[in-house]
Amino acid sequence: MERSFGTSRRAVVGFGDDISAVRLANDQLAVLKTDMVVGSTDVPPGMTWRQAARKAVVANVSDLAAKGVKPYAGIVALGLPRTLTKKNVQGIASGLSEAAKEYGFPFVGGDTNESKDLVISIALFGLTEARKLMLRSGAKIGDIVAVTGEFGSASAGLRAVLDRTIRPDKLPRELSQAVYYPNAQLDVGLRLASTGAITASIDSSDGLAWSLHQLSEMSGVGIRVEKVPVSRAAREFASAFGYDASNLALYGGEEYNLIVTVKSALLRAAQIAARGRLKQIGFVTKKSEGVRLARPGGDVGIRMEGWEHFRR
Amino acid sequence: MERSFGTSRRAVVGFGDDISAVRLANDQLAVLKTDMVVGSTDVPPGMTWRQAARKAVVANVSDLAAKGVKPYAGIVALGLPRTLTKKNVQGIASGLSEAAKEYGFPFVGGDTNESKDLVISIALFGLTEARKLMLRSGAKIGDIVAVTGEFGSASAGLRAVLDRTIRPDKLPRELSQAVYYPNAQLDVGLRLASTGAITASIDSSDGLAWSLHQLSEMSGVGIRVEKVPVSRAAREFASAFGYDASNLALYGGEEYNLIVTVKSALLRAAQIAARGRLKQIGFVTKKSEGVRLARPGGDVGIRMEGWEHFRR
């Protein structure tokens, strides 16, 4: 896809980052983001239409959060199967407007269509200054790698309901929340952007491992993870059902933390700005060292793998 | 849908017009538009993937054209069925980039997904000044109603291929062009916006009759059409296959002309700006007179009907 469009001088940030940005005047950028939720591949068992619509917004907001950009307005194009009832459609509308309220922006327009698959296609618009924008590129050797939350709950919860290990309504609260009611870290992203401490940033929606590889590739650096930040709920699920907790956390997805690299001298400032939500997990190394995980017996490589979409 | 979102002070133009607009600073507006093409309902027999993608762009640009706004950048979210080949996907990418080039803006980002139905969801961003924006509201009694082209070719062509009256590759050139390779009237729209002569404007993608009703409703006026502007190709098709040519023109759709109301004293200036493309078809009347068509035996009402989407 990307290559077909070439590059545009107007695009300050194009394909290949969480968002796109075009220059307006001087330092001001218009930031654009679109992300689509598809019924057959993005909506797990047990999720309501309202939750699916809310999550579609969260996924878009999370990408803006990772760039330090506040959403200013949103528009939405819906593809609705004939089988949906009026109540289903109202649920979708409620989910969209609930999430917009949570993240402080209005939906100002949209388009409704009939389609075979449920499609919720959201586009967000934001404004920022070029110098404040946190990109995937920019990590430097010696920077700290840090995250704004723990990992594994979403993939544990998804595995549980997809493999029918646990019924959706019986999921432990943390897993249920992670799957059906995730949150984008918008406030943390905006506060981190204002510190000037962040050299690169990405949201973790494609999984921790995958996102670390993106940072590595776009910044031309290696990353050494010293400790995989696994959530307690994922640990409990892993031990009860025979999964590897680290793998759940690394190779998951649909989880909306931010993964950032921080100038080491400014780590404390960034942690204060993030109000305790920023935890160091490793540091930036030479590119030739790749993306790897420290283990007692010696480092192991982190594979460039992520969560694969599921089908109903 | 609309009512669920309420109104936002940030939205200068919200649901209910061709585009949405939010205020940036002073008189400057960010204009947002999203419109989705769905394989099962929007792609007629004989249309290539490249043409479908190009048309998705045309549909979005046409709405900006009707408002006098130049597209500044676009983003696209794709839902791609598993059955599509790599060549199909390349065709889609080519159609998008071909159309973006035609209308002078770059696609700067996107999102690709798997879905059961083909979905091409485009969002466009543009900038304008509030006082230049042409809205659906604003028509005044005594204004001239004018259009930038003739009608009926798209609905004639669509009927021909959907009813299998004519094979797609045997369609007369004008009908084929109208169905598979329509154009948005961006230049005309931009030039008209700069005259200050236009009091209201809409694109005709939902059909001439439907669009006239929208202008009537949003402006709180009536409209009297004196002459339905039917294309010669639609007339020929109608007479060959026993259709009513006026009905093809009135109750069609998927046709990308602009329908505007013009201050009568400035009609000549608007026609010069539109370089001969602006033709008077009627005038604005009192609301109580409704939307009607002059006929030798007396006026008849124009129904609020439009083209219904088709299925493959």
Among B107, B205, B309, most A C-beta atoms within 10 A, so best to mutate, is B107
Tokens 């006082």 correspond to what residue? B131
Nearest one of A77, A73, A78, A68 to A19, comparing CA atoms:
A68
For A29, phi and psi rounded to 5 degrees? -120, 145
> Does residue B289 fall inside a structural domain?
yes
**Helix A186-193 × helix A49-67 angle, to 10°:** 10
- Pairwise CB contact (< 8 Å): A108 & B10: yes
The count of other CB atoms within 10 Å of the CB of residue B227 is 12
> Does residue A309 fall inside a structural domain?
no
Rounded CA gap, A191 and A264, in Å? Answer: 17
Strand order in the sheet with A222-225: A198-203, A258-262, A144-147, A279-285, A222-225, A291-293, A300-301
- Pairwise CB contact (< 8 Å): B125 & A34: no
Are A183 and A101 part of one and the same domain?
no
Q: Does B22 touch chain A (CB under 8 A)?
A: yes
Q: DSSP for A185-196?
A: -HHHHHHHHTTT
- Pairwise CB contact (< 8 Å): B36 & A79: yes
Q: Distance of alpha carbon B26 from its chain centroid, rounded?
A: 29
A183: domain CATH number? 3.90.650.10
- Pairwise CB contact (< 8 Å): A72 & B10: yes
Element (H, E) at B40: helix B39-42
The count of other CB atoms within 10 Å of the CB of residue A32 is 27
- Pairwise CB contact (< 8 Å): A72 & B41: no
- Pairwise CB contact (< 8 Å): B4 & A34: no
Element (H, E) at B42: helix B39-42
Residues of chain A contacting residue B78, judged by C-beta atoms under 8 Å apart: 1, 36
Q: Identify whether the C-beta of residue A124 lies closer than 8 Å to the C-beta of residue A37.
A: no
Are A24 and A165 part of one and the same domain?
no
> Does residue B105 fall inside a structural domain?
yes
Interface of A with B in 46-105 (CB under 8 A): 72-73, 75-79, 89-90, 93-94, 96-97, 100, 105
Which member of B15, B33, B41 has the closest CB to residue A114? B41
Are A90 and A165 part of one and the same domain?
no
Instruction: Name the domain boundary from A89, A108, A132.
Output: A132
Are B188 and B290 part of one and the same domain?
yes
> Does residue B43 fall inside a structural domain?
yes
Which member of A105, A114, A117 has the closest CB to residue B79? A117
Among A1, A49, A114, A311, most B C-beta atoms within 10 A, so best to mutate, is A1
DSSP designation for A151? B
> Does residue A269 fall inside a structural domain?
yes
Q: Does A27 touch chain B (CB under 8 A)?
A: no
Element (H, E) at B146: strand B144-147
Are B15 and B103 part of one and the same domain?
yes
| Closest residue in chain A to residue B107, using alpha carbons only | A5
- Which amino acid makes up residue A30? A
> Does residue A288 fall inside a structural domain?
yes
Q: pLDDT tens for residues A62-84?
A: 999 999 999 999 999 999 999 99
Residues B287, B288, B294, B300, Cα dihedral to 10°: 130
Q: How many CA atoms lie within 13 A of B309 on its CB side?
A: 14
Nearest one of B42, B112, B106, B40 to B78, comparing CA atoms:
B112
- For residue B26 the two structure tokens come to 């002073």
Are B45 and B101 part of one and the same domain?
yes
Residue B296 neighbours by CB under 8 Å, 6+ apart: none
Instruction: Name the domain boundary from A101, A132, A163.
Output: A132
B20: domain CATH number? 3.30.1330.10
For B199, phi and psi rounded to 5 degrees? -100, -25
CA angle (A41 as vertex; A35, A47 as ends), nearest 5: 90
Are A121 and A186 part of one and the same domain?
no
Q: Does A119 touch chain B (CB under 8 A)?
A: yes
Residues in chain B with pLDDT < 70?
Answer: 1-7, 307-312
Residues of chain B contacting residue A117, judged by C-beta atoms under 8 Å apart: 79, 115-117, 119
Q: How many CA atoms lie within 13 A of A260 on its CB side?
A: 35
Can you give the residue range of the structural domain that contains A220? 144-301
> Does residue A67 fall inside a structural domain?
yes
Q: Identify whether the C-beta of residue B289 lies closer than 8 Å to the C-beta of residue B150.
A: no
Q: DSSP for B173-237?
A: HHHHHHHHS----HHHHHHHHTTT-EEEEEE-TT-HHHHHHHHHHHHT-EEEESS--B-HHHHHH
Q: Identify whether the C-beta of residue A244 lies closer than 8 Å to the C-beta of residue A189.
A: no
Measured in angstroms, the CA of B128 and the nearest CA of chain A are apart by 12
Among A9, A17, A22, A36, most B C-beta atoms within 10 A, so best to mutate, is A36
Tokens 């204009």 correspond to what residue? B31
Which member of B36, B113, B117 has the closest CB to residue A77? B36
Residues of chain B contacting residue A79, judged by C-beta atoms under 8 Å apart: 36, 38, 79, 117, 119, 121
Measured in angstroms, the CA of A78 and the nearest CA of chain B are apart by 8
Residues of chain A contacting residue B91, judged by C-beta atoms under 8 Å apart: none
Are A103 and A221 part of one and the same domain?
no
Rounded CA gap, B98 and B87, in Å? Answer: 16
Are A53 and A93 part of one and the same domain?
yes
Residues of chain A contacting residue B90, judged by C-beta atoms under 8 Å apart: 4
| Closest residue in chain B to residue A99, using alpha carbons only | B5
Rounded CA gap, B25 and B11, in Å? Answer: 13
Residues of chain A contacting residue B312, judged by C-beta atoms under 8 Å apart: none
Position A7 scores a pLDDT of 61
- Pairwise CB contact (< 8 Å): B11 & A96: no
> Does residue A139 fall inside a structural domain?
no
Q: Identify whether the C-beta of residue B219 lies closer than 8 Å to the C-beta of residue B200.
A: yes
Coil vs helix vs strand at B243: coil
- Which amino acid makes up residue B285? T
Strands (E), A57-99: 71-80
Instruction: Name the domain boundary from B132, B164, B198.
Output: B132
List alpha helices for chain A, DSSP H.
Answer: 2-5, 39-42, 49-67, 86-102, 153-162, 173-180, 186-193, 208-219, 232-241, 245-250, 267-273
The count of other CB atoms within 10 Å of the CB of residue B244 is 11
Are B50 and B77 part of one and the same domain?
yes
Position A312 scores a pLDDT of 37
Which member of B34, B94, B109 has the closest CB to residue A19? B109
- Pairwise CB contact (< 8 Å): A111 & B35: yes
Residues in chain A with pLDDT < 50?
Answer: 310-312
Among A117, A125, A129, A307, most B C-beta atoms within 10 A, so best to mutate, is A117
Are B160 and B25 part of one and the same domain?
no
Coil vs helix vs strand at B72: strand
Measured in angstroms, the CA of B126 and the nearest CA of chain A are apart by 10
Measured distance between the N- and C-terminal CA atoms of chain B, rounded to whole angstroms: 27
Are B170 and B228 part of one and the same domain?
yes
For A190, phi and psi rounded to 5 degrees? -65, -40
State the total domains in chain A.
Answer: 2
Position A5 scores a pLDDT of 62
